[in-house]
Amino acid sequence: MTARILRVDASARVEGSVSRALSARLADRLAVPDGTVTVRDLAADPVPQVDAAWVEANFTPAEDRTDAQRAALAGSDALVAELQAADAIVIGVPIYNFSIPAALKAWIDQIARARLTFRYTENGPEGLLKNKTAWLVVASGGVAVDSPVDFATGYLRHVLGFVGIDDVRIVDASRWGALNDHEQQAVFDDVDGAERRAAA
């Protein structure tokens, strides 16, 4: 079956971004031999912040929405559709000030949609984006993945699980500038082995 990969780039930097370089490489590996990669670049095409009109439209039942409310949710609908169509999601996650970039948070706010990507049941919330794998390519200057001051990785694991994506895998490119050549090569080797890991 052809693998459908959604790659989400969150780095504000287009050139010289470690998370972009590694996420592009990873998405390409996962798409081998004949898969497709859809790129959602949150720097080149920023996702708007949720506003009052969006919230009102989202809380209105779909069958009762006005044309203006449907327009307010059109961008979010497109982002959700990308996720629904993907078999795997690769997210480039630069750690900014101990957490995720604002652009990535805006994307999360747009795709966390009751009745579309999760629902509330008598047993609590249930994620609706099942049978998918997410890969987090986490890059930082000085914050180590899963350290006490890493507020990015754990948050993303939780929010992805909330929408049903429980298989979350990490490519650890944290403290990149402090890694020697051998250690950096080990990260690239980890990415290059992703196809085998995905099939496991």
Q: Annotated binding residues for FMN, as ranges? A: 11, 17-19
How far apart, in Å, are the Cα atoms of 133 and each of 55, 78, 83, 140? 29, 20, 11, 22
The alpha helices in the chain, defined as continuous H runs, are 18-31, 52-59, 67-85, 102-111, 153-162, 181-192, 194-199
93 contacts 155 by C-beta, under 8 angstroms = no
Beta bridge partners, 137, equal 92, 171
195 contacts 29 by C-beta, under 8 angstroms = yes
**What are the binding residues?**
11, 17-19
